[in-house]
Chains A and B, each alone.
Chain A
Amino acid sequence: MKTSLAGLKKGQKAIITDFNIDAIPLKLLEMGCLPGNVVELLQIAPLGDPIYINVNDSHVAIRMETAEEIDVEIITDTI
């Protein structure tokens, strides 16, 4: 199923398919947030923002507005 990274539920894994490169900080790309890589949503902050993901073995927190710019294809559902 296609969605944006912001649409993932806690514990879901997905593959990054595409993103709006102008809206994504370069630093995030360098941490491995690149098309083809698997991303897992680990935590959502209590107030709904930011989210805490694991991509390419990098554990990072990013804001929703950034996550919305990243398209993903969901591969697993919450267990």
Chain B
Amino acid sequence: MAAPTIKIALIGNPNTGKTSVFNQLTGLNQQVGNYPGITVERKQGSVKLPGNIKGTVIDLPGTYSLNASSIDENVVIELLLNRNDKDFPDVAVVVTDVENLKRNLLLFTQIKDLEIPTILVVNMADRMDRKGISLDIPYLEEHLNTKIALVSSRKGIGIDALKKLILDYKNLSTEPCLNASSIDPEYFNKLRNAFPNQLLYKLWLVITQDVNFGALERNEIQNSSFTKTKSELKRLQQKETIKRYQFINDVLKSGLTVDSSKAKDLRAKLDRLLTHKVFGYIIFFCILMLIFQSIFAWSAIPMDFIDESFTKLSSWASKSLPPGKLTELIANGIVPGIGGVVIFIPQIAFLFLFISLLEESGYMSRVVFLMDKIMKRFGLSGKSIVPLISGTACAIPAIMAARNIENWRERLITILVTPFTTCSARLPVYTILISLIIPNRMALGFFNLQGLTLMLLYLLGFGGAILSAYLLNKILKTRYKSFFVAEMPNYKMPLFKNVAINVIEKTKAFVFGAGKIILALSIIIWFLGSHGPGDNFKNAEAYITQQPQYMNLSQDEIDNEVAAYQLENSYIGIIGQTIEPVIRPLGYDWKIGIAIVSSFAAREVFVGTLATIYNIGSSSDDEATIKQRMDAEINPVTGDKVFNFATGVSLLLFYAFAMQCISTLAITKKETNSWKWPLIQLFGMSTFAYIVSLVAYQLLK
């Protein structure tokens, strides 16, 4: 019989290295970053302990205490208060940062009060020398009623000792460090007598916050005779906090010595520079410029290469595979569709690289500090900067990153406007449209016009976000007390491995996530495009050859005409022509219409969809890239290019503002817990996009 697995929960203040310890224990690669609030959900992994015992480790979001003030913190309390939760830990591992031990121990003493076996991990031990910190471990173990593992998860030191302690969890003391109920003995005595079977501290936690757990419901206690006003409760919580700090200070007085002569100047110097009233903004702006530069200029080389490779692969497939329906699907649908995603790997990797560097270095928090006042004016918080910046990669993690904004209103507005920022899925669309309608020329000697247009689109995205935040702020008139507490972590040299893992994992997730959708949609579109109802589709060849105007064409040209006629009479052609009246005023033909409709699954399928449609619509074996095909499309009525300037601008604007991403809607639903907000996003943004594109096209055509 297998030995039972040990359930381990990693708990601690934000940014103390819980996820780093988790990765060390489990060998997994969860995201790590020097910004409080990187982890916002429970994550699980398994660990092999000595003697072939298995353990399950849960990584939790950071929390300053067991009094939750934002949703990510709530996750921790919900778990710890509910003994029936399937993940309820056998042993709690409290991870602390050696440089912040005093504050970190507050949470530790609270967890001890829950009488769960607890191990104290003192992490970042590698920094002790530099900071002149020394610890008396036996003394601390004795006075904190615990076992201590001195760990450096960066260097992998102390992990084995930690594993041994976990294995031995049954011998850990479950005795609290101090008696918190002495802050109001009378009250706590009454409480104890009323609920003799419950842990006193747990009762207290349930009373003071909004969590339900198991059999004991909050209302039951509140309806009893112990009700206190919110303000009275808070005063008690203050007393409790003071009491805990008294205890901690006493213990640390003998347990911890800091030689303050050791330099700690770097932080102050960097802070002075990075939050300077002029340089601070200049540096921030330069960093943003660098990111654009890398996305547009540096990525171009690998992108051209990938583009050509896929075009070759496509024509190779159509020549060397046995001719037939399946080959057509592969060569004309799937390969170009996948190519449409793969081509963006360089840009996305750059984007993730920079965001990861900003987070790992500790710079992100300084931007939060710089921007709070500006953002507040628009109903946002300085912390909204993080979702807005990381939204340039993908709105989904960005919306989740809004969880550590304490204020519900500021958080809601952040969630609602984040999809306006130019996410990486828009890049494929922008890049190809820009290259079609904007000449590749220099303006004023050194600005590349195409790069400038792209930057303008990014600014438009931010502008859209800020403007709609402003409007929402005016509309959502709930009164609220804004409150903002942002920890400023110490600067750290980004760890190459962390950054690399981050970039690789996220890029992989993007490619496979988008790849799946594109694969599915290419197949569907290809199928709908190469089948049609009725005789028009079937008898296309006979029909075309009978038309007098086609009599003098070569066989090749006739084939092309037949394919085009078939496409028009296929299912997709019929659907496209049905919706055409709606999009015609924006300057789009029905093929673009199909691409837009399929883009509501995910924007990046736009290019793939067009590729598939154009491929079906021409007799195969020509070797044009997607771009060349788009450029060659002619409007049969006007004889003009389909992707002319007016249509191009109109399309760019449409993609800039429209809400075309099912996954984002799903995450908004999840985060706001209601269908109302995602629907507002969908209709609000898309209507706005429609109007803007309409106006632009009508003015430009």
Given A26-B67, A29-B238, A30-B64, are A56 and B102 neighbors across the interface (CB < 8 Å)? yes
How far apart are the CA atoms of A9 and B614 in the complex, in Å?
67
**B106 near A30: Cβ-Cβ < 8 Å:** yes
Contacting B at CB under 8 A, from A11-60, are 21-23, 25-32, 34-35, 42-43, 45-50, 52, 56-60
Q: Give the docked Cα–Cα distance between A36 and B604 (Å).
A: 57
Provide the residues of chain A in CB contact with B242, threshold 8 Å. 34-35
Given A57-B102, A61-B372, A61-B486: A26 in contact with B237 (beta carbons within 8 A):
yes
On whether the beta carbons of A62 and B485 are closer than 8 Å, the reply is yes
29 pairs, A vs B, C-beta closer than 8 Å? A21-B234, A21-B235, A25-B69, A27-B64, A28-B485, A30-B67, A30-B106, A31-B64, A32-B245, A34-B245, A43-B275, A45-B369, A45-B370, A46-B280, A46-B281, A49-B372, A50-B369, A50-B382, A52-B271, A52-B488, A56-B102, A57-B100, A58-B100, A59-B487, A59-B488, A60-B486, A62-B486, A63-B483, A65-B482
Set of chain B residues within 8 Å of A56, measured between Cβ atoms: 102-103, 245
Return the CB mask of B262-286 against A: 1 if under 8 Å, else 0.
0000001001100111101100000
- B471–chain A nearest beta-carbon distance, Å: 22
- Most chain-A CB neighbours within 10 Å: which of B235, B272, B382, B485? B485
Asked whether B31 is an interface residue with its Cβ less than 8 Å from the other chain, the reply is no
The majority secondary structure among interface residues of chain A is mixed
Contact in complex: A61, B67 (CB < 8 Å): no
Please state if A63 and B372 are interface contacts (CB–CB under 8 Å).
yes
Bound CA span A63–B369, Å:
10
Q: How far is the CA of A35 from the CA of B241 in the complex (A)?
A: 11
Q: Residues of A contacting B365 with CB < 8 Å?
A: 61
CB distance from A53 to the nearest CB of B (A): 9
Which residues in A have their C-beta under 8 angstroms from that of B231?
Answer: 21-22
Q: Distance in Å from the Cβ of A9 to the closest Cβ of chain B?
A: 15
A66 sits at the interface (CB 8 A): yes
What's the interface size class on A, roughly? 20 to 34
With a cutoff of 8 Å between Cβ atoms, the chain B residues found around residue A47 in the complex are 373-374
| Cross-chain contact B484 with A62 (CB below 8 angstroms) | yes
Query: Are B103's CB and A23's CB within 8 A?
Result: no
Other-chain residue from B64, B276, B488 in contact with A61 (beta carbon distance below 8 A):
B488
CA distance A66 to B482 in the complex (A): 9
Give A47 to B370 CA distance when docked, in angstroms: 8
Do residues B275 and A45 form an inter-chain contact, with CB atoms below 8 A? yes
In angstroms, how far is the closest chain A Cβ from the Cβ of B12? 14
Q: Given A29-B241, A61-B488: A42 and B102 within 8 A (CB)?
A: no
* B113 is an interface residue with CB less than 8 A from chain A: no
Chain B residues near A21 (CB-CB < 8 A): 231, 234-235, 238
Complex Cα spacing A58 to B100, Å:
7
> Which residues of the partner chain B approach A28 to less than 8 Å between Cβ atoms?
485
Q: How distant is A43 from chain B, measured CB to nearest CB, in Å?
A: 5
Give a binary string over B104-136; 1 marks a CB under 8 Å from any A CB, 0 the rest: 001000000000000000000000000000000
Chain B residues whose C-beta falls within 8 Å of the C-beta of A30 in the assembled complex: 64-65, 67, 103, 106, 241
- Report how far A72 CA is from B697 CA in the complex, Å: 61
> 4 additional contacts, CB 8 Å, given A59-B488, A59-B489?
A21-B235, A26-B65, A46-B281, A66-B484
Cβ–Cβ < 8 Å partners of B374 in chain A: 47
Are A32 and B64 within 8 A (Cβ)? no
Q: Are A42 and B484 in contact (CB under 8 A)?
A: no
Q: Is B406's CB within 8 Å of the partner chain A?
A: yes
